[in-house]
Amino acid sequence: MGLPGIVTRAQWLAAREELLAKEKAQTRARDALNAERRRLPMVEIDKEYLFDGSDGKATLFDLFDGDSQLIVYHFMFAPEWDAGCRSCSAFMDQIGHLAHLRARSTNFIAVSRAPFTKILPFKARMGWTVPWYSSYDSDFNHDFDATLGEGDEAREQPGLSCFLRDGDRVFHTYSTYDRGLDWVGSYSSLFDLTALGRQEEWEEPKGRSTGLGAPAGSPRLRYHDEYEM
């Protein structure tokens, strides 16, 4: 196995400082890219989708559960499979408590094509509490490119789709798939995919940091059982 070279502490510090400059540049570039993502236009959803969940049938509007934003994880679980995708399961394992998302009026759920009767026992086996819905009877997966092709040629792909609610109207703001998920997992990286972002004052464009949920920013973070939901 090839290992890093061995150097003195002074040599390591010099190399580390050189790399740190590149890391800071990448952070600034990522901030700019996130701002550009938030400036994307959005598409109103006027098609009716029905999902099966623990409380029965639900519409896309219902999945917001009263919040202003909705993040949907497209979990690969085809109707004919007996268990969910292993890589999707690894992704789901890293999703922490949803209170930090919900405090900023953002819900997170999983959606799969498998019937809910298959999803429920697998979810229990994995010990997850994230809400999970079946889109078995709808075109949702196909319309949002989580299922490609038809019939025996259908192929699942993992992804995340973000939606924004304005009153009774629902809008699609962003989707990413496959390698686009590589850096996602923390609550802050999930916020970075949404139209409202982290809802912090320094973000561009301005004017999206007030009026929704708990105040943002590290000094205002709470233990997850301290938020007033």
pLDDT recorded at residue 152? 75
CB atoms within 10 A of CB 119: 24
Contact yes or no for 38/195 (Cβ under 8 A) = yes
C-alpha distances out from residue 9 to 23, 36, 77, Å? 20, 40, 49
pLDDT recorded at residue 168? 95
- Which residues, at least 6 apart from 43, have a Cβ–Cβ distance to it below 8 Å? 171, 172
Higher pLDDT, 21 or 206: 21
Residues 145-176 as b/e (b if ≥16 CB within 10 A, e otherwise) read: ebbeeeeeeeebebbbbbbbbeeeebebbbbb
pLDDT recorded at residue 214? 59
pLDDT digits (tens, 9 = 90+) for 102-149: 988 999 999 999 999 999 999 999 999 999 999 998 999 999 999 999
Contact yes or no for 184/190 (Cβ under 8 A) = yes
Q: Using N-to-C axis directions, what is the helix angle for 116-126 and 86-93, rounded to 10°?
A: 50
pLDDT digits (tens, 9 = 90+) for 53-82: 999 999 999 999 999 999 999 999 999 999
pLDDT digits (tens, 9 = 90+) for 147-196: 999 877 899 999 999 999 999 999 999 999 999 999 898 888 999 999 99
pTM as predicted: 0.90
pLDDT recorded at residue 59? 98
Q: What is the mean pLDDT of residues 33-53?
A: 96
| Torsion sign, CA atoms 53, 55, 56, 62 | negative
Contact yes or no for 203/209 (Cβ under 8 A) = yes
C-alpha distances out from residue 136 to 35, 147, 161, Å? 35, 11, 18
